[in-house]
Amino acid sequence: MSAVDQLFRDLRAAKRKALMPFVTAGDPDLAFTADVIRELAARGAHLCEVGIPYSDPIADGPVIQASYQRALTKKVKLADILSPLASVAPAVKMPMLTMVSFAIVYRHGTARYVSDAKKGGISGLIVPDLPLEEADSLAKECRAADISLVQLVAPTTPRERAIKIAETSTGFLYYISVTGITGERRELPPDLVENVAWLRERTKLPICIGFGISEASHVKQLAPVADGLIVGSALVRRIAKAAELPRAEVLKDVGGYIAELLAALG
């Protein structure tokens, strides 16, 4: 059982839902990334999704694309990312997952990536460009290391295929709330709750919703149907201010934002 499995088992027993913030590793630098992760944990976030910068965006909107580019411009490498995560993991005591392109995993070596992630305190992988049909090798390595391999379902995913994805995903199922790219939105699709409810009837796996969630009202709307909610662009935009503002001020803003979402989560 991975740390992600255990977390959701505990949350379900307590009838609580999870909040999973997303941060870009290395923006504005890795030291501040570690500080942000500590702040998120201190405020009560349940998991943390750490984006591994990649030059070819998969479904990332302009805010996250820009954060990746800033990190890459500073020559942030995978080995540089995993080392500080390893140092912060024991202190935060919340599962961390990497959002990583399969191109990076493949280039690094599948077995080696899983091994290095485990040493870095990582409890799960989210690989958005990994096709279901090609997931077996990575899934096997993850199972052996007790690391969750989270897979994604989109609104456009055929229902038969969505069921197959749910059967092979571990940790939780990542449900993409909108068709398109990441980014803050004032309103979410009207059929989102219905679509997630349909999927819930067909899997016992926890379902976490991501893309477009940025406001307390979104959290209140989706908490009844989801096991967890993922917030990315709105948080990355706040973190980016560390390039101009005092870092203590940015951390306070980040922490206050997460506290607001957690309060809405109930």
The structural domains of the chain, with segments of one domain joined by +, span: 3-257
Local structure of residue 132 (DSSP, 8 states): G
- Supply the DSSP string of 58-108, one letter for each residue: SS--HHHHHHHHHHHHTT--HHHHHHHHHHHHHHH-S-EEEE--HHHHHHH
The residue with tokens 């490498």 is 77
Active-site residue among 27, 35, 49, 184? 49
Query: Dihedrals φ, ψ of 49, to 5°?
Result: -100, 120
CA distance 208 to 21: 12
Instruction: Sort strands 173-176 and 148-153 into parallel, antiparallel or unpaired.
Output: parallel
Query: Dihedrals φ, ψ of 97, to 5°?
Result: -125, 145
The residue with tokens 């699709």 is 189
Contacts of 172 (CB under 8 A, 6+ apart): 4, 8, 148, 150, 205, 206, 207, 208, 227, 228
CA distance 170 to 147: 9
**Under 8 Å between Cβ of 126 and 98:** yes
pLDDT for residue 182 is more than 80 = no
pLDDT for residue 191 is more than 90 = no
How large is the average pLDDT for residues 143-160?
Answer: 94
Q: Mean pLDDT in the chain?
A: 91
pLDDT for residue 3 is more than 70 = yes
How large is the average pLDDT for residues 141-164?
Answer: 94
pLDDT at 184: 44
How large is the average pLDDT for residues 198-202?
Answer: 91
pLDDT at 251: 97
Q: Which amino acid is at 229?
A: L
56 included as an active-site residue: no
Please tell me the number of Cα atoms within 13 Å of 50 on its side-chain side. Answer: 33
How large is the average pLDDT for residues 232-236?
Answer: 91
pLDDT at 232: 86
Predicted confidence band of residue 1 (pLDDT cuts 50, 70, 90): confident
pLDDT at 189: 58
How large is the average pLDDT for residues 25-46?
Answer: 96
pLDDT at 235: 95
Q: What is the pLDDT of residues 111-122, one digit of tens each?
A: 999 999 999 999
**Under 8 Å between Cβ of 140 and 174:** no
pLDDT for residue 57 is more than 50 = yes
How large is the average pLDDT for residues 112-137?
Answer: 94
Q: What angle do CA 232, 80, 95 make, to 5 degrees?
A: 45
End-to-end CA distance of the chain: 27
Find the Cα–Cα–Cα–Cα dihedral 70, 102, 50, 18, rounded to 10°: 140
Q: Which two tokens stand for residue 119?
A: 């040493």
Local structure of residue 75 (DSSP, 8 states): T
CA distance 205 to 123: 16
Q: What is the pLDDT of residues 244-258, one digit of tens each?
A: 999 999 999 999 999
The residue with tokens 């942000």 is 36
pLDDT at 186: 53
Which of residues 87 and 149 earns the better pLDDT score? 149
How large is the average pLDDT for residues 159-173?
Answer: 94
pLDDT at 185: 46
| The CATH number, out of the four listed (3.20.20.70, 3.30.70.1140, 3.30.2350.10, 1.10.10.10), of the domain defined by the range 3-257 | 3.20.20.70
pLDDT at 20: 97
Residue of 264, 217, 257 whose CA lies nearest to 22: 257
Local structure of residue 101 (DSSP, 8 states): -
For the chain, percent of residues with pLDDT exceeding 70: 94
pLDDT for residue 231 is more than 70 = yes
CA distance 262 to 27: 24
60 included as an active-site residue: yes
pLDDT at 180: 47
Active-site residue among 5, 27, 35, 60? 60
pLDDT for residue 183 is more than 60 = no
How large is the average pLDDT for residues 27-49?
Answer: 96
Local structure of residue 179 (DSSP, 8 states): S
Q: Which two tokens stand for residue 34?
A: 């570690």
pLDDT for residue 227 is more than 70 = yes
